[in-house]
Amino acid sequence: MSISVSGINKRFGDFVALSNVDLEVPTGRLTALLGPSGGGKSTLLRIIAGLEFPDTGTVEIEGVQATWLPPQKRSVGFVFQHYAAFKHLSVYRNVAFGLEIRKRPKTEIRKRVMELLELVHLEQFADRLPSQLSGGQRQRMALARALAVQPEVLLLDEPFGALDAQVRKELRDWLRNLHDEMHVTTIFVTHDQEEALEVSDEIVVINGGRIEQVGAPAELYDKPANDFVMKFLGPVTTLDGQLVRPHDIELRTAETGDAVRATVTKLTRVGFEVRAELKTAQGSEPWVQLTRSQSEDLALEPGREVWLRTSGAPRTLVVP
Ligand SMILES: Nc1ncnc2c1ncn2[C@@H]1O[C@H](COP(=O)(O)OP(=O)(O)OP(=O)(O)O)[C@@H](O)[C@H]1O
C-alpha cells in the first residue's frame, strides 16, 4: 500500500513538531525516517499510524483519505520502542492476540502463529512468557505480533532501539530479509545513520520538524542537499572552508599543483584504519581517513609535511 502525506503541520502548545511535511511512500518500499532526537520522526510515524492527528494536512493510504481514521481501520501494523507485550500471556498468545480479537478460527490462528514464530526464529519459545525472552527476542515477538494480522503497512519506531550493537546488526539483516520476502510497505524510525544506510531503500532525513532531504542511501551520502544532511549521514571534516568526507581527501607526500600544504599532527590507529590529524598552512585542522597500508606506504608520522587535495564532491561551508 502506498502512503501519501501532504501539508502536515503539528504543534504541541507553542512547540512546532512538524512543519509543512510532504512525503510519498510507494507500495512495497522500506523507508527510514532518520534524524536527531526531537526532530519529529515519531510524531510523523504516529500521525501515519493514526495514534496522533495533524493540525492541518492529510494522510492518504492507498489513495484513501485516512487522516481521521482510527489506527485499527488503517491496515497498519506497528511496533513502538518501549513495546508493551502482555506480560501474563505466553509468546504464542501475544502473537495470536490480534487474530483472536478478530475472531479467526482456532486452526487458522494456530497455523498462522506457528508460521510467524518460525519466521522470527522463536518457534521453540512459544510457551514462554515475554519476561523469559532476551531483548532481541522480545523485539522479534513484537514484529511477529504486528505481522499476524497481515498489515499492508508496517510502522516501526526505533524497533531495535534498546539493544546492543551485535543484536541490532542481526535484527537489521533480518528485517531486510523479511522485507525482501514479504514486500510489506515499511516505514521505520531511527536516529542511527548506519542503520538507515544499510537497511532502507529510501531515507527521509527529518530535522527540526522539517524534511531536509529524501533519497536513496547512496544519493544522500554522495549528494547531500545541505551541510546538515552531509554531517548527519557520515563523518565530515573541514579543509580550508570546505566540508568534505575524511576519506575523500587525497594525501600525498610530494607537492602537486593545486594541493594544500599541511603537517601531520597526530596519527591514531583504529583497527585497519588510520586517522591522520593535520594542520594546513592556512591554519585549518582537517583529518583524513586512510587504510593502514596507505599510511605505511606514505611513511606518515607526526611532523611530516604532506599535500592534500579533495577527491570527492566538497561543499562550501556556510559559516553562520
Ligand atoms: N504529546 C506531546 N506533547 C508535547 N510535546 C510533544 C509530544 N510529543 C512529542 N512532543 C515534542 O515534539 C518534538 C518531536 O518529538 P518526536 O518524538 O516526534 O521526535 P523524534 O524525532 O522521534 O525524537 P526521538 O528520536 O528522541 O524519539 C519533541 O521536542 C517532543 O518533545
Between the alpha carbon of residue 99 and those of residues 112, 140, 149, 264, the distances in Å are 9, 18, 6, 64
For residue 131 and ligand 1, the question of a CB distance below 6 A is answered with no
> Taking residues 153-179, what's their average pLDDT?
82
Residue with CA nearest ligand 1 atom 5: 12
> pLDDT band at residue 84, thresholds of 50, 70 and 90?
low
Cα of 137 vs centre of ligand 1, distance in Å, is 27
Determine the pLDDT at residue 307.
Answer: 94
Cα of 35 vs centre of ligand 1, distance in Å, is 12
For residue 94 and ligand 1, the question of a CB distance below 6 A is answered with no
**Does the pLDDT value for residue 278 go beyond 50?**
yes
Q: Phi and psi at residue 217, in whole multiples of 5°? A: -50, -50
* Residue 117 contacts residue 126 (beta carbons within 8 Å): yes
**Does the pLDDT value for residue 181 go beyond 60?**
yes
> pLDDT band at residue 146, thresholds of 50, 70 and 90?
confident
Determine the pLDDT at residue 83.
Answer: 58
**Does the pLDDT value for residue 294 go beyond 70?**
yes
> pLDDT band at residue 319, thresholds of 50, 70 and 90?
very low
Q: DSSP for 84-123?
A: ---TTS-HHHHHHHHHHHTT--HHHHHHHHHHHHHHTT-G
* Residue 266 contacts residue 302 (beta carbons within 8 Å): yes
Query: 247 exposed, middle or buried (CB, 10 Å; 0-12, 13-18, 19+)?
Result: middle
Residue owning grid cell 532502507:
200
Pick from 145, 143, 170: nearest CA to 157: 143
Question: Which pTM value belongs to this model?
Answer: 0.85
Cα of 12 vs centre of ligand 1, distance in Å, is 9
Of 220 and 175, which is predicted with more confidence?
220
**Does the pLDDT value for residue 7 go beyond 90?**
yes
Mean pLDDT rounded to a whole number for the chain:
89
Cell of 40: 519529529
For residue 35 and ligand 1, the question of a CB distance below 6 A is answered with yes
Pocket test for ligand 1, best of 43, 55, 81, 207 (most atoms within 8 A of CB): 43
Of 184 and 219, which is predicted with more confidence?
219
Strands (E), 49-152: 56-61, 64-65, 76-79
**Does the pLDDT value for residue 57 go beyond 80?**
yes
Of 120 and 54, which is predicted with more confidence?
54
Determine the pLDDT at residue 316.
Answer: 59
Q: CA-to-CA distance for 214 and 220, rounded, in angstroms?
A: 8
For residue 265, the one-letter residue type is T
Q: CA-to-CA distance for 231 and 212, rounded, in angstroms?
A: 12
Cα of 40 vs centre of ligand 1, distance in Å, is 6
Q: CA-to-CA distance for 123 and 114, rounded, in angstroms?
A: 7
**Does the pLDDT value for residue 141 go beyond 50?**
yes
Between the alpha carbon of residue 236 and those of residues 224, 239, 288, the distances in Å are 12, 10, 9
Residue owning grid cell 572552508:
241
Query: 51 exposed, middle or buried (CB, 10 Å; 0-12, 13-18, 19+)?
Result: middle
Residue with CA nearest ligand 1 atom 16: 40
For residue 130 and ligand 1, the question of a CB distance below 6 A is answered with no
- Specify the 3-state DSSP secondary structure of 252: strand
Q: Phi and psi at residue 26, in whole multiples of 5°? A: -70, 160
Percent of the chain with pLDDT over 70: 95
Q: CA-to-CA distance for 278 and 74, rounded, in angstroms?
A: 55
- Specify the 3-state DSSP secondary structure of 133: coil
Between the alpha carbon of residue 201 and those of residues 26, 31, 47, 114, 186, the distances in Å are 11, 6, 22, 29, 10
Q: CA-to-CA distance for 23 and 320, rounded, in angstroms?
A: 29
The count of C-alpha atoms lying within 13 angstroms of the C-alpha of 281, restricted to the half-sphere facing its C-beta, is 7
pLDDT in tens, 215-262: 999 999 989 999 999 999 999 999 888 889 999 999 998 887 788 999
* Residue 22 contacts residue 212 (beta carbons within 8 Å): no
Pocket test for ligand 1, best of 42, 44, 53, 156 (most atoms within 8 A of CB): 42
Q: By mean pLDDT, which of 7-16, 39-48, 111-120, 193-202 is the weakest?
A: 111-120
pLDDT in tens, 22-35: 999 999 999 999 99
> Taking residues 50-55, what's their average pLDDT?
94
For residue 209 and ligand 1, the question of a CB distance below 6 A is answered with no
> pLDDT band at residue 130, thresholds of 50, 70 and 90?
very high
pLDDT in tens, 103-129: 899 999 999 999 889 888 899 999 999
Residue owning grid cell 495470536:
96
**Does the pLDDT value for residue 82 go beyond 60?**
no
Determine the pLDDT at residue 320.
Answer: 42
